[in-house]
């Protein structure tokens, strides 16, 4: 089994999501783990060169087009090769970190990770499991102030990733010990379900 681990927290040793992703991965036995730490090694934002290159047929792309898409191609290949994707998603200002949005922008590719059909869009990244380690200071998972989890569920589903589980250490500022204990119990339940 191959696990793709996406880390987005700018906190290193004090990151709750990094601790949760460590624990989640420890429950997934005998796995090859590929880590993409996009907080430590930030991704570029999409630009006009990328946007122009992605709509050209592959056999018509210039060397500059291929260069513009090289990182995006590598990120898509990592997702395609993964059986399970573990995403650390701390909440920054009520939504996902900009680094995670940049990753999504780079992997959302028409004709590659989704396509349009006569019945509407169809995600092409199917039969994969996603586990999101969600942490926040005051925002409750699925609360009116949570603009992260709904967006992630929608975008992942749009790409065909519909088996999504959230492990939530939310509202840490109110009850850090209790919410971490509940998150760890959720991880233990994942282990039992595996």
- Residue 123, classified by CB atoms within 10 Å of its CB into exposed (0-12), middle (13-18) or buried (19+), is middle
Supply φ then ψ for residue 52, to 5 degrees. Answer: -70, -45
Determine if residue 9 is labeled as part of a ligand binding site: yes
Strand order in the sheet with 84-90: 32-37, 2-7, 84-90, 129-135, 163-169
For residues 9 and 72, give the distance between their C-alpha atoms in angstroms, rounded to a whole number. 21
Query: Coil, strand, or helix at residue 66?
Result: helix
Contacts of 9 (CB under 8 A, 6+ apart): 15, 16, 17, 18, 39, 88, 90, 97, 135
Which residue ranges make up the annotated binding site? 9
Cite the annotated binding site for FMN by residue number.
Answer: 9
């Amino acid at each position: 089994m191959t696990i793709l681990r996406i880390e987005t927290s700018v906190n290193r040793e004090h990151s709750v999501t990094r601790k949760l992703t460590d624990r989640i991965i420890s429950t997934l036995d005998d796995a090859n783990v590929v880590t993409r730490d996009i907080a430590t090694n930030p991704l570029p934002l999409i630009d006009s060169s990328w946007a122009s290159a992605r709509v050209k047929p592959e056999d018509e792309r210039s060397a500059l087009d291929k260069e513009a898409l090289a990182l995006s191609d590598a990120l898509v290949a990592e997702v395609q090769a993964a059986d399970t994707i573990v995403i650390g998603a701390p909440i920054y200002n009520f939504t996902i970190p900009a680094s995670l949005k940049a990753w999504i922008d780079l992997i959302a590719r028409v004709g590659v990770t989704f396509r349009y059909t006569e019945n509407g869009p169809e995600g092409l990244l199917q039969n994969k499991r996603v586990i999101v380690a969600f942490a926040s200071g005051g925002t409750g998972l699925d609360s009116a102030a949570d603009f992260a989890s709904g967006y992630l569920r929608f975008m992942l589903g749009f790409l065909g990733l519909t088996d999504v589980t959230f492990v939530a250490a939310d509202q840490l500022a109110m009850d850090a010990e209790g919410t971490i204990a509940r998150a760890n119990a959720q991880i233990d339940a994942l282990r039992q379900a595996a």
